[in-house]
Structure 1
């Protein structure tokens, strides 16, 4: 896929410490340290429209409401999401929060194609069609 698009990733479960992640004790769906490493995984879905990508995040937040939703509403979060997805550079959106039931929720919209960085070339697009 050469047109700008976002790969959507989701993890819901317990939180892991940095040392657990480094020792390989975190689930395979656990968020990676570097954003670009999401692309080494199969996405849940892919969006070419930023509005549709933002709607996916809204549904995710409704299904797994954040503990602090009263102080930092989903609508406020989504205003930031729309602004971020519209950027030319840095258009990734990553949410990490806890639910009232103490589950750790991670949702990511990772833009693709990615630019070359000092870390080297990005991983190939996981959904090249």
Structure 2
């Protein structure tokens, strides 16, 4: 393990594919209220500051700009409990099954093994897939400090 820091868990976010693909909601830049008014049906989150939006950001490290009230319970000094959290969410919200019965991914054991390796190197881990009801789920464990966005301070201060 070469990373010196800790990890924060974000999510799970569950929503529509359309909302997930609405890039203007997923970027931390301020939105022009005049531009928003020109949209036929802007997402209600467009009127909230980036830090309060629930839709996952485009860059995983931008999660660190958000300070959800339960973040302390999802902050880890060791990657193992973070991976356990990922597995619990995956088991609670399993992926939708393929119509042909084939595997939708490599399975939780392989995903957990890769997540342990990645987190140990300070790489963020994001699990995102479709769940029943034509919805997507996204949840992430984010390294803090971020290797790619080092100027973002820890959300816990």
- List alignment gaps of at least 5 residues for structure 1: none
SS, match of residue 104 in structure 1: strand
SS, match of residue 91 in structure 2: helix
Query: Does 2:96 correspond to 1:67?
Result: yes
Q: Deviations along 1:68-106, whole A, 9 cap, x unmatched?
A: 59622111211211111121x5x1001111112322100
The count of aligned residue pairs is: 121
Query: Does 2:117 correspond to 1:112?
Result: no
How far apart in 1 are the matches of 2:44 and 2:78? 32
Query: Does 2:66 correspond to 1:41?
Result: yes
User: Looking at CA atoms only, which structure, 1 or 2, has the larger radius of gyration?
Assistant: 2
Contact 2:124 2:141 in 1 (8 A): yes
TM-score by length of 2: 0.66
How far apart in 2 are the matches of 1:9 and 1:76? 21
* RMSD between aligned residues: 2.4
- List alignment gaps of at least 5 residues for structure 2: 27-35, 37-41, 46-52
Q: CA deviation at 1:114?
A: 2.4
TM-score by length of 1: 0.79
How far apart in 1 are the matches of 2:109 and 2:97? 13
